[in-house]
Each structure stands twice: as structure tokens, then as C-alpha cells.
Amino acid sequence: MSDDGQRPPMLGVIGGSGVYDITGLEQARWEQVETPFGDPSDHILVGELEGLPVAFLPRHGRGHPLPPSGVNYRANIDALKRLGVTDVLSLSAVGSLREELAPGTFVLVDQFIDRTIERDKSFFGPGLVAHVSMAEPVCNRLADLVERVAVEEELPVRRGGTYLAMEGPQFSSRAESEMYRAWGCDVVGMTNMPEAKLAREAELCYATVAMVTDFDCWHPDHGNVEVADVIRVLQANASKARSLVEAVAESFGHRPDPCPQGCDRVLDTALITMPQARDPERLRCLDAVAGRVLTNDTE
């Protein structure tokens, strides 16, 4: 912690489909991180980019052994927080629900609709209840930086959009795809929820780069989604994503601190369970996620 209570900046990168590592890391090493919520998706690649501490976690594990519903999202976020991460850049493969969002486009989404049903969605629960706001789920400080860098790198980027998170692993039916479009969604994926919710609870600044791999099945001029077609675009997107991460790291230290949006302080007003009613075991599990406010409560 610095003198003003702020943690020194550290970038966490969660790599989605096709992005299993980051090249160019100095002093790179794979670290195993234990969490109260089980094992993360994989060991975490820790090192430095442009002098900035960086932690990279392949969301599906190296080689993609984990399906979207098999990812331990709580362990992933907890592990990053334990390593000292302050900001999380999420890289995700998505299908497009809009004609103008062609394969290869990078979308900096700013809203989510959560249609997942089989995942643990909160660090809190019986014994310690907390309610954080998800009205603005993406950190504008981090998204502003990513947008500026993407433009400088001449990447095909679109700022703003709604991400529909579905359970999967099957792709959408045509009726579902049309429904998501009618709801005003722009892209569809399977992984950013509950990831974004958990990052908010852990007081981490969070932003998503949704990398379009295909048009979802609503599109009349494109056939059903095929994995082989998706993989071809994934490979092209992956190299651009790595370049984007390197450029973000180079500019990362110039961001305003503390977060103007308050992402790093959301728990100040979120805890509702009185200290004397809190479950000790729940408190133990939240030593990393909520230690800042729980420590203050006991002083």
C-alpha cells in the first residue's frame, strides 16, 4: 500500500479463447495460487511489461480444457487479487449480433445481461451479506486507456455495447439470437458473467475487450456458427490482443489514481451484515477480496 492507502498498480489480464499466454514478459514465471474458493483455471503467468507488474491468467486453462461453465470464476478473481492486481483487462471471444460488428472487430462493451444459471456469482452470502452496484459494470478509467491505445495501434475498435452472457456450451438457437438482438444486445459470449460481478466485489477495475469471431446465427448470409471458422478468426485476433496488452502496459502508469469511478472503493457502502453477526469462516475466505474493509471494521 502507498501512503494514501492505494495499492501500487498491477495489471491483470484474463485471456479468453485462443489467448493462452503473453509474449514479451520479463522475469516471467508461472505461479500456483491457492484460494479459499478452490483452484483457478491454471497457474498464473507473472512478470513485467514495460516495467509494469502483470499477471496473466488463461481463463480456460492452457490448451482450453475448461468449458465456460467449468471455469472457477471466484477462484480466478480471488487469485488475481491475492497477487496484488488492481485492474483487470478481460479478453473474450464473442459472436456479433450487429451487422456493423464484423468478425475481427474489438468491442469495448460497457453493459452486460447475465443469462448464466449454473455459476457461483458472489463472494458474499450467508454470514456476510453485501450488495454492490452493477449499474456501470465497466471501469471507464481503464476502458478509456484501452480505447486510446487501440486507436493508436489502428485496431478495428468500437467503444460501447451490451454483452449477453449465455450459459453455453452450445451456441444460440436462431430464436435466442433474434431475441438478444431485440433486447438491444450487441455481442454474445459465455464467460464475462459472473466474472465482471466478482471483479466489482473484489474492488478491481474491470474492462472487457470482446473480440468478434463470427456473426451469430441470426445473420441470413452466414451459416451456422462453426468451430473451425471461429478458430481461424481467434488466431488472427490473438496476435492483435497481445499487441494491445503490451501497448496498454506501456501507458498504464499514466492513469488517474485513485479510480475516479470508485471501483477500488465499492465495498465502503456495500456491507450490510453487522460485525457481531458475521460468520468467521466467511470472513476467513474474504481476506483478500474484502480485507481492506474487514480489517478497518475490526480496528
Examine the residue annotation and report whether 214 is marked as an active-site residue of this protein. Answer: yes
3 in a structural domain: no
Q: 123 labelled as ligand-binding?
A: no
Report the predicted TM-score, pTM, of the whole model to 2 decimal places. 0.94
Q: What is the pLDDT of residue 299?
A: 46
Share of the chain above pLDDT 90, in %: 77
Could you say which of 42, 110, 186, 216 is catalytic? Answer: 216
Q: Which range marks the domain in which residue 90 is found?
A: 11-298
Tell me the pLDDT tens digit for each residue of 81-92.
999 999 999 999
Ligand-binding annotation for 17, yes or no, is yes
> Does 5 reside within a domain?
no
Q: Is 60 annotated as a binding residue?
A: yes
Is 110 annotated in the active site? Answer: no
257 domain-assigned: yes
Would you give the distance in Å from CA 227 to the centre of its chain? 23
The pLDDT assigned to 296 comes to 61
**Which of 214, 221, 264, 287 is the catalytic position?**
214
Convert the pLDDT of each residue in 187-239 to its tens digit. Answer: 999 999 999 999 999 999 999 999 998 899 898 876 565 666 777 777 888 88
**278 falls within a domain:** yes
Q: Structural domain tally of the chain?
A: 1
Residues contacting residue 53 through CB under 8 Å, at least 6 positions apart: 8, 9, 10, 11, 46, 47, 84
User: What is the CATH classification number for the domain harbouring 185?
Assistant: 3.40.50.1580
Tell me if 59 is assigned to a ligand binding site: yes
In angstroms, the CA 2 to CA 209 distance is 29
Evaluate whether residue 2 is within a structural domain: no
* Residue 172 assigned ligand-binding role: no
Say how far apart CA 186 and CA 32 lie, in whole Å: 36
